[in-house]
Amino acid sequence: MTVSNPGDAAPPVDLRPLGRTGILASPVTLGTSSLGAGTVPGDAGEAEAIDLASAMLHGPYALIDTSNEYAGGRSETVLGEALARDGIAPGRAIVTKVDRDPVTGVFDRDRVRRSFEESCERLGVDRLGILHLHDPYSVSFEAAMGPGGAVAGLLELRDEGLVDAIGVAAGRMSLMRRYVGTGVFDLVLSHNRFTLVDRSAVPLFEEAGERGMGVFNAAPFGGGLLARGSASGATYAYGETTPELRAWVERVEAVCVRHGVDLPTVALRFSLRSPLVHSTVVGVSSTARIDELERARAADVPEELWVELDALGPAPSTIVD
């Protein structure tokens, strides 16, 4: 796949501002955690991954989400190869994240600067619109927020004009609430905690909205269960499901059948319809998946379905924080 004229692409769909940042997002952001995984430079797998990356960079959505650590750095490298080969369509941008040192676990100001530089080198860019602090579990909150800590590095990058907006991206709600409560971040990204199955991110997203922050909701399918269904044996939030959770999802599937829509469409639309969420991050592994997401985004889901789902009561989520 070679894109001869990036300017031929249609504008991104349904743009909206990410809180006070002024940065525009589509309702769906494409995730790339597995992009380039298992490939090496020059092999057939890398060529396929570059084609997929190019399709993302010229697809219907404004933002493509990656990270310094995704696929051992291959995700950013492949995106950079696609950028160099085919460019990027107007209105699209790459979002990435700084990560701890993969060997030592160090996550301080200097590591943030190095992580940013590594990402820019792989992507072939000098600056970024959005940069997240990613999974800061190897250091304490106090260390991350203190002098010489990871957050100091992010603030420097923003102050120097090397990034436009900084965010925090992680899972644990108790920790995320502390970071958002500092007031220094422009955006927040949470995963697996605002879905049909789990609503524990609601207080976090409400607080972020009150602060004018941009809100990304990632993993609306819970890592597989809500994409593959109750009988699939798929995990939820990287962990095994329980019989109670599978039975609850089976009841959701019955509601979906009555209204003529499938479970994955409803799982995606649950996030898209929420006023708490600006953009929903969904991982993709093929160009066909991008088309599927766009069909689901545009599908007709009757309001009566949501009423029936509410009547089922809370799901027995397996997440404890």
pLDDT in tens, 274-319: 999 999 999 999 999 999 999 999 999 999 999 999 999 999 999 9
Residue corresponding to tokens 């971040």: 185
Paired tokens of 30? 């494409």
How many CB atoms lie under 10 A from the CB of residue 17?
12
Q: Are 249 and 229 in contact (CB under 8 A)?
A: yes
Q: What is the pTM of this model?
A: 0.96
How many CB atoms lie under 10 A from the CB of residue 194?
25
Q: pLDDT tens for residues 255-271?
A: 999 999 999 999 999 99
Show the domains of the chain with their CATH numbers. Answer: 6-311 (3.20.20.100)
Backbone angles phi, psi at 257, to 5 degrees: -60, -45
Pairing mode, strands 163-170 and 187-191: parallel
If you average pLDDT over every residue of the chain, what do you get?
96
Q: Which band of pLDDT confidence, cut at 50, 70 and 90, is reported for residue 113?
A: very high
